[in-house]
Amino acid sequence: MNSKEKKLVSVFTLLGSLASYYYGKAHSKDAIPYVMIGGFVGAWVGEILSNALDESNKNKKDKSNGSNN
């Protein structure tokens, strides 16, 4: 995993945590379980997106290498 992928996962983890914190506080509930779950879901989404982007980049490289041969 390169630094670009790590940043993507970190950003989605942060966004998921902040969104779930806001949800917990807005509904007058204990925010800690929501933050934990939101961070997990955010990291999961970030991993899926980074893997999808990585596969897309590999496919583009394969296509461009195939057309040059």
Any residues with CB less than 8 A from the CB of 14 and at least 6 apart, and which?
42
Question: 19, 39 in Cβ contact below 8 A?
Answer: no
Q: Give alpha helix (H) positions in the chain.
A: 3-26, 31-68
Confidence (pLDDT) at 38: 96
Query: pLDDT tens across 17-38, in order?
Result: 999 999 999 999 999 999 999 9
pTM for the structure as a whole: 0.80
